[in-house]
Amino acid sequence: MSPLKLTIPGHYWDTQIYQGRLYLFDREGGILTLDWDRLIEVLPVDNALKLALVCALKRSDYLYRVAATGIFHDEEFKTIMNSRFAALAETPLVLEEEQIKEASLGQQENRFPFPHADSTVYYRRLYVSAQSGVFSANCNGQTKYPISTRVERLWDGPVLALGASYNSLSLAAGEAGLWEYDLSSTGGAGLWEYDTNSPFTRLSESAPEANPRPLAEQHCSECQWAFHSVYGSSLTGPGVLAAYYRTRGESDEESYTPRKKSYRREFDRLIPEKEIFSDFEEPAGVYSWAAQDKICQAANGSIRVAKYQPWDQEEPIKRLGLLSLERHGEAIVSAKVALFGTVVELDSSLVVISSDGEILSIAGEPVSWRVFPRSRHYENHLHIIYDDRLEVLSFNHDYLLDQREKVSGISGWFGRNNKKSFDSLRLH
């Protein structure tokens, strides 16, 4: 099934989408914030396609929740939805300047370093990494501008990429390695504690409570969360998994509420890429990456896929299969795992290996691109920025698949093994 595409004209550098707002960093030093929900509501499409449009661009979780009921075993219902997504994919959706103005929540000066290397939104705060460090600001909708002009510097070390989860930032700091920043000290969610029995003490002379703290010394150009662990990727060397297990912590009876459970992420060990893919045949891979339950390694025109299942004490990492990249000799620039499949940036194009096995090659060199694997509403999105536009691609095939059997793409939330607790699990 071809993806739906929405085009937003403009000269952008980066994009984030979060809780009904689209943040567009332009290349002239500004940030435009759009009311995404309003944009979707006013798009000129046939009334019969409105529900499909909402599911495709606004609430991807709708169909995943419906799929969990088994309703798509009804072939007639499945055919209707597929036909409507197909009709949307054939409908050119291009925002006009007037539509962009009407949906604007504010145009403001970019107080973050520009150009930045990476960004993410977590608990209504925007985080940006750059050569000059890591910065954050509120985007909770309670300030004069959509993004607060009070930008806080969290760290002054150069950071190439970052990701947020479990009240922490993972930081890819190039030659300085893989790091983690505890957000509980900066007004984060405050639900997670950290042990002192970690790699920090043997990799750094700094105190264990130092913030941020190093995870691995080797070169790191990208970082991704794999459940409560962190995977560091490198274009110049092997990747590494900083493996953690999760335990239930001590509760403060005075402050404890059913919605505020106390957990601890405790460091287990560093697992090198070579060990993760030891069950695969040689030659060695050239680049590896991960997200949630998938760890991938590009090698000789194929992508090796390992399944990460930290709840399984006997086999926390197992060989899953191979994906054909159908490209030999082209250098990999970057790669990500999304819910809908695997995305690889090559010198000449983006290649999407969708979770149903289809391969889509998107020609052209992007300024940047982004997927949202930890989102609940936009996990089917692929945002691609070109010189004169942002293209939002929505993939709408994955909800029909058995999430437990997928090789390409993260297993959807309703397809994971939820019967086993993450408490007191350890990788061996």
- What pLDDT score does 373 carry? 92
248/275 Cα distance (integer angstroms): 29
| Residues 6+ away with beta carbon under 8 Å from 122 | 164, 165, 169, 183, 188
- What pLDDT score does 396 carry? 92
Task: For residue range 153-186, list pLDDT tens digits in order.
Answer: 999 999 999 999 999 999 999 999 999 999 986 5
- What pLDDT score does 69 carry? 72
- What pLDDT score does 208 carry? 46
How far is Cα of residue 306 from the mean position of the Cα atoms in its chain? 18
Question: SS in 3 state form for the chain?
Answer: CCCEEEEEECCEEEEEEECCEEEEEECCCEEEEEEHHHHHHHCCCCHHHHHHHHHHHHCCHHHHHHHHCCHHHCHHHHHHHHHHHHHHHCCCEECCHHHHHHHEEEEEECCCCCCCCEEEEECCEEEEEECCEEEEEECCCCCCCCCCCCCEEEECCCCCEEEEECCEEEEECECCCEEEEEHHHHCCCCCEEECCCCCHHHHCCCCCCCCCEEEECCCECEEEEECCEEEEECCCCCCEEEEEEEEECCCCCCCCECCECCEEEEEEEEEEHHHHCCCCCCCCCCEEEEECCEEEEEECCEEEEEEECCCCCCCCEEEEEEEECCCCCCCEEEEEEECCEEEEEECCEEEEEECCCCEEEEECCCCEEEECCCCCCCCCEEEEEECCEEEEEECCCHHHCCHHHCCCCCCCHHHCCCCCCCECCCCC
- What pLDDT score does 189 carry? 41
- What pLDDT score does 427 carry? 32
Q: Do 29 and 14 meet the contact criterion of CB atoms below 8 Å apart?
A: no
Residue ranges in the chain modelled with pLDDT below 70 = 68, 72, 185-209, 249-262, 283, 327-329, 413-428
- What pLDDT score does 221 carry? 97
345/295 Cα distance (integer angstroms): 17
Average pLDDT, the chain: 86
Task: For residue range 13-71, list pLDDT tens digits in order.
Answer: 999 999 999 999 999 999 999 999 999 988 989 999 999 999 999 998 888 877 767 77
- What pLDDT score does 339 carry? 95
- What pLDDT score does 413 carry? 63
- What pLDDT score does 262 carry? 62
| Residues 6+ away with beta carbon under 8 Å from 78 | 72, 400
- What pLDDT score does 76 carry? 81
